[in-house]
Structure 1
Amino acid sequence: MGWVTGVMVYFVVWWTVLFAVLPFGVVPEEAAERESGGWRGTPRSPAIVTKALWTTVVATAVWLVIWYLVNSDWLSFRTGWLAMPA
């Protein structure tokens, strides 16, 4: 995997993990008033920075697994155990 492909794969993995992490720990505001800028159902404390940090940690781990599988012979269509005999 080249560096450009690696960056693109990390970008896609990061956003996918972010959308998976966003719902964790969300407590909706029950009595929000529209006049004050709050809407019923908006998160009380979204903790975006914490979720971004967790997303980075998990995405890095997932990306390392993908990088290992792509660069190893274990999952190769040419030389690995999944390769078709010539």
Structure 2
Amino acid sequence: MAYTISTGFAIYFVLWWVTLFVTLPFGVRSQHEDGGGSPGTDPGAPVASRMGRKLIWTTVLSAVIYAIGMAAYYEGFLSIERLSKMMGMPF
């Protein structure tokens, strides 16, 4: 069974969002940790979130994970038959 382009984009899109939520907390410093902050703001609010850098890292990491997954699929490591056999479920 071959994936269509739309299926590949859908899988990559979901993987990209999961990877984004993994990369969001890295490198964030709160106003409380930085020692600054405006009056009336939450002390846990980030000083600089650096979203551009995180979006680039998310894209790169999700592309690498997607490539590994697709290579494993085309080599037969992620076939439905093999995964169902490993889980003890009849196919």
Cα displacement (A) at 1:73? 2.6
User: 62, 67, 71: which one pairs with 1:68?
Assistant: 71
Q: For 1:20-39, list aligned pairs within 5 A.
A: 20-30=22-32, 31-32=36-37, 33-34=39-40, 38-39=41-42
Between the two proteins, the alignment pairs up a number of residues equal to: 78
Alignment-mate amino acid for residue 51 of structure 2: I
Tell me the distance in 2 between the aligned counterparts of 1:61 and 1:11: 13
TM-score when scaled to structure 2? Answer: 0.74
Residues 40 and 77 (structure 1), Cα distance of their counterparts in 2 relative to 1, 3 Å cut: closer
Alignment-mate amino acid for residue 7 of structure 1: F
Alignment-mate amino acid for residue 73 of structure 1: G
Instruction: Give the aligned partner of residue 17 of structure 1.
Output: 19
TM-score when scaled to structure 1? Answer: 0.78
Q: Which has the higher helix share?
A: 2
Over the residues paired in the alignment, what is the CA RMSD in angstroms? Answer: 1.9
- The share of aligned pairs that are identical, in percent, is 29
Q: Structure 1 runs of 4+ off > 6 angstroms? A: none
Q: Deviations over 1:39-85 (max 9, x none)?
A: 2111111000000000000000001111112222344345xxx486x
